[in-house]
Chains A and B, each alone.
Chain A
Amino acid sequence: MSKLCLICRFLSVLCLISNQSKSQSLQIADSLIKKYEYALAAVYYEKALFDQNQQLDVFSPDAFRLKANQLLYQKIKCQKALRIFEDAWQTAQRFDLNEPNDTLQFKLRYEGALCGYLSQRYNEAYGQIQQARFYINDTTLTIALDVLEILTLNELERWEESKTLFRRYAARNQLSIQVDDLYSFIKKKPKNPNKAQLMSFLMPGLGQIYAGYTKEGLVSAGLQALALGFGVYHVLNRYYMIGFFTGAGLFQTFYFGGARRASIMAEETNRKRKARNSQKIRALLVENEQKKER
């Protein structure tokens, strides 16, 4: 009799397992996150989504949307932990944003914008931020977008807008920072690569000096002077072939090469400046946000 009971119990457990298997994926995914197995956890969240799609009749549309968004949110969390930001961005595109609850909608839109920023899709991230501001009327929520917007604007080199926003952010957070000083680099014009090239054509080495590479400029000018001197010396001594081919040949190589290099250096200087300025502002923002969290 006891055996019969045992078999019955086993069968009922099997039936229960069959019904519960759909929700198992989610539980496994959550436990995997705790074990830092993000890659597998991300797939289990996808499996939970897949299972949910198979049971359309079980959920109400609202419950379905809420659950699907929650699963996608968790999947993005895993992808961010794995630093596969492009995949995270693609996942964020799958959010159902027809969410009447402002807080939830903001959470999803913020995640979308953040994934855009992290995957270096700055224009798209900026678009997402603007959409969030447009669709969510609750300014107590959208205020949290300021940091992300400043960072995105910096990457887009829209410094003036970034400065305005930073000023607002600093006032709200009572930061004792001179915003004008922080953004003083705006007054400095970016180096013009074409101008650098033209300057090197007019006076060898000048383009490099303009781009901020004085030593390289002097070396370039020196090499061109040497080549020209070699050529002139040989022509004066009636070694016309050597003077022309070696002297003039080397000179033209250094001359055109130097001008091209000056243009590249101007671009390099701009890139470095942008990175330095962005980093300075980013460090300030991160420090302040960390203080707020504490």
Chain B
Amino acid sequence: MIEIKSLFLSCRKCLFFCLFFSTSLLAQQRLSSDSLFVEYLLEKKYYNDVLNWTQHRQVFPYYRGLAFYNQLKIDSAIRYFEQLPISHPNYVKAQFLEGFGHTFLKNYRKANQIFSELSPPDSLLSALQSFQLAGIALLERDTLKFVSYQRKFNGKYFAFSQEEEKLVDNYRLIQQHRRKSPLLAGLMSAVVPGSGKIYAGKTGQGLITFIQNLALGLQTYEAYRRDGWKSPRFLVYGGLFTFFYIGNIWGSTLTVHVRKQEFKDKVNEQIMFNMQIPIRTVFNQ
């Protein structure tokens, strides 16, 4: 009787053991099938489907992050990449994407912090880390820092050897760019209307401004010469001429700022592009 009871007990233990393992195995199988499905959706670029599918599954922050990243919803992507634990198999990739996301959002300090604190597992990713840090330094116009990172460029990695050269070209472009004075542009336009705009680099606009002011000036002079300074005709044309003349001076100083911003935006866009290509190549993203 005792033997039967012990046999029954050992059977029960065995079944408990099976139950425990089969449950966890099933859960694992389910998770792996779901992961495969999400990867399939990402490969097919069904990003909305990825987001719908993972909406109530908190175990997929990485995939949600990727879907948002590909939809250029960088804020949301960063929020999900931040949730990844260090042990996650795609942690390093997520860190690179998060860092670039912050760069995209012009949050250079945070991007710098992420890339600096990253410990890449191999030499390729280490070189990519230096490359990204160099890009951020250039975006911040911190040339000293850029030069220090640039020393680590070796052109050894096919994935971004060209981009290294292009980043150095961007650096040279920034160094060679002549800064123009808004004050000088305003003064030039006060002397010869439109000349400040030509100095700022907008030749067409400068010529049009000159013709506009010349025409209004001539009409004002004609009204003054024929009717005197008290006449309504002179007052109307004089008012118009003053308005356009002051506008021309103010516009010239503004044009210098606009051109400066245009140049900055153009170079930043090139730098960002050069920073993004290696990430896409290395991580197939």
Contacts and interface: CB of A to CB of B under 8 A. Distances in A.
Interface string B199-216: 000000000000000011
B154 interface: no
Contacts of B26: 14, 17-18
Q: Which 6 A-B pairs have the closest CB atoms?
A: A241-B222, A245-B215, A7-B15, A241-B218, A43-B49, A43-B53
A144 B86 CA distance: 59
A43 B52 CA distance: 7
Given A7-B15, A11-B19, A245 B41 contact: no
Interface string A1-37: 1011001101100110110010000000000000000
Interface in B191-244: 215-216, 218-219, 221-223, 226, 233, 237
B19 A10 contact: yes
A239 B29 CA distance: 92
Contacts of A111: none
B106 interface: no
B15 A242 contact: no
Contact of A7 (B16, B52, B53, B55): B16
Contacts of A246: 219
Majority secondary structure, B binding face: helix
Contact of A245 (B16, B29, B37, B218): B218
Interface of B: 8, 11-12, 15-16, 18-19, 22-23, 26, 29-30, 33, 36-37, 40-41, 46, 48-49, 52-53, 55, 215-216, 218-219, 221-223, 226, 233, 237
Contacts, number: 69
A18 B49 contact: no
A46 B29 contact: no
Given A21-B30, A46-B46, A241-B221, 14 more contacts: A4-B11, A4-B12, A11-B19, A14-B26, A18-B26, A40-B55, A42-B49, A46-B41, A47-B37, A51-B33, A242-B219, A242-B223, A242-B233, A245-B215
Interface size class of A (residues with CB under 8 A): 20 to 34
Contact of B8 (A4, A42, A245): A4
Interface of A: 1, 3-4, 7-8, 10-11, 14-15, 17-18, 21, 39-40, 42-43, 46-47, 50-51, 54, 238-242, 245-246, 249
17 contacts: A4-B11, A4-B15, A11-B18, A17-B26, A18-B29, A21-B33, A40-B53, A40-B55, A43-B52, A50-B36, A50-B37, A51-B33, A239-B226, A242-B222, A242-B237, A245-B219, A246-B219
Nearest to A246: B219
Given A239-B222, A241-B219, A241-B222, A40 B22 contact: no
B15 A11 contact: yes
